[in-house]
Structures are given as structure tokens and as C-alpha cells.
């Protein structure tokens, strides 16, 4: 257990940041699942609306350090290729 006031404060800060990271990660995963569902259904209208939202969620998570920037870029690239494959 933390003995100093500084250590107690760091614990409080860590818990708040962990809660925020959970929210960002959950939002990102939800948006990716929505896009993947639309890709599976070949619903071009939904894909057109969902694709920018999903990319923003991934980039926001990367910007906040929830996931690495390379991981976000890889996910964006793979999703974009799947969307592009549908239009071809």
C-alpha cells in the first residue's frame, strides 16, 4: 500500500487514466466491429458512413497512446483494403 501522499495521488491518477483508456479502447473496438459487420453484409451505404468514424476512432486511440501508432495504421490499412475489395 502507498505510504506517501505522492504515491497515493499517483494511484488515483493511474486509476483515472485506466478508466479513460478502457472507454477509448471500447469505443474503438465497437466501431471496428460495426464496420466489419457492414463489410460482411456488403452494405455499401453503411460502409460509407462507418468507415470514416472507424478510422477516427483508431487514430484517436493511437494519439492517446491506448494502442501503438503502427498498430492503428495496420488496422486502418487492412480495413481499407477490405472496403476497397468490395468496390472492385
- Segments making up each domain of the chain, as ranges: 5-87
22-28 LR contacts (CB < 8 Å, sep 24+): 24/60, 24/61, 24/64, 24/66, 25/61, 25/66, 25/67, 27/57, 27/61, 28/57, 28/58, 28/60, 28/61, 28/66, 28/67
Q: What are the grid coordinates assigned to 25, written together?
A: 479502447
| pLDDT value of position 87 | 74
Q: What is the CATH number of domain 5-87?
A: 1.20.58.110
pLDDT in tens, 12-66: 999 999 999 999 999 999 999 999 999 999 989 999 999 999 999 999 999 999 9
**pTM for this entry:** 0.85
pLDDT in tens, 75-85: 999 999 999 98
pLDDT band at 2 (very low <50, low <70, confident <90, very high): confident
Amino acid at each position: 500500500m502507498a505510504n506517501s501522499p505522492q504515491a497515493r495521488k499517483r494511484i488515483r491518477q493511474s486509476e483515472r487514466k485506466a478508466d479513460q483508456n478502457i472507454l477509448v479502447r471500447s469505443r474503438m473496438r465497437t466501431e471496428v466491429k460495426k464496420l466489419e459487420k457492414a463489410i460482411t453484409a456488403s452494405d455499401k451505404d453503411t460502409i460509407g458512413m462507418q468507415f470514416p468514424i472507424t478510422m477516427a476512432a483508431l487514430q484517436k486511440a493511437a494519439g492517446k497512446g491506448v494502442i501503438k501508432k503502427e498498430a492503428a495504421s495496420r488496422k486502418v490499412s487492412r480495413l481499407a483494403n477490405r472496403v476497397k475489395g468490395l468496390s472492385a
